[in-house]
Amino acid sequence: MNMLRVALTLGSIAVIGAWLLGGETPEPAEQVAPPPPRPRPWTPSAAPTAAAPAPKAAPVLAAAVFEDEREVALGRPVYHPRDPDEWQGMRVDLSLTPLCEDSEHCGLARACLDGRCVACTTDSDCGGEEPCVLEHCVQATRLGCRSRRDCPSGERCVLTGYGTGVRGNEGMASTCLAPRGGRAETE
């Protein structure tokens, strides 16, 4: 055991001596700057538009509105009522209603009514060339039906899904479809 201590001590002295007598100090390692942070992906719904005016609300009011929306969002969704004989998919959650100036800037194919993005109930709610189908504004060129009354017996009017654009209705279509499979809705 003593021999091991002696060997370690002599080895340490030799390393320190070589370093002191060497006269050269090693160059510091080249420091490489970390890569710049990657930009966050741009999402149309979060980006301001060129036509959007400066906010008019005081910061306190804006914070209060945010708190109210957050509290609602933490609760159970509140869906826009729909005729139980209609297709029950893609129901509009009214607990999440972003602020808006016109329907053109509402996502999820919603309509801008009283400054909020909500479910449409008539074609005039959507504005422009978009008819209202099952509480969603659908592009007129993609309109196949408005309700089950437009479909053959036993079929229902359904929406094909949201698009990836600002409105969310790009590529969305309404079409008649016979119900098959699935499961019963639970409360």
pTM, 2 dp = 0.57
> Is 116 a member of any domain?
yes
* Interior/surface letters 144-175, b for 16+ CB within 10 angstroms, e for the rest: bbbbbeebeeebbbbbeebbeebbbbeebbbe
Instruction: pLDDT band for 51, please (50, 70, 90 cuts).
Output: very low
> Is 31 a member of any domain?
no
> Is 165 a member of any domain?
yes
> Is 171 a member of any domain?
yes
Instruction: pLDDT band for 161, please (50, 70, 90 cuts).
Output: very high
Instruction: pLDDT band for 62, please (50, 70, 90 cuts).
Output: very low
Residue 104: per-residue pLDDT: 86
CA atoms of 149 and 156, how far apart (whole Å):
8
The SS3 assignment for 117 reads strand
> Is 73 a member of any domain?
no
Instruction: pLDDT band for 41, please (50, 70, 90 cuts).
Output: very low
* β-bridge pairing 156-159 and 116-118: unpaired
> Is 119 a member of any domain?
yes
> Is 137 a member of any domain?
yes
Q: Which residue has the higher pLDDT, 33 or 160?
A: 160
Q: Domain span at residue 83? A: 79-177
Query: What's the structural domain count of the chain?
Result: 1
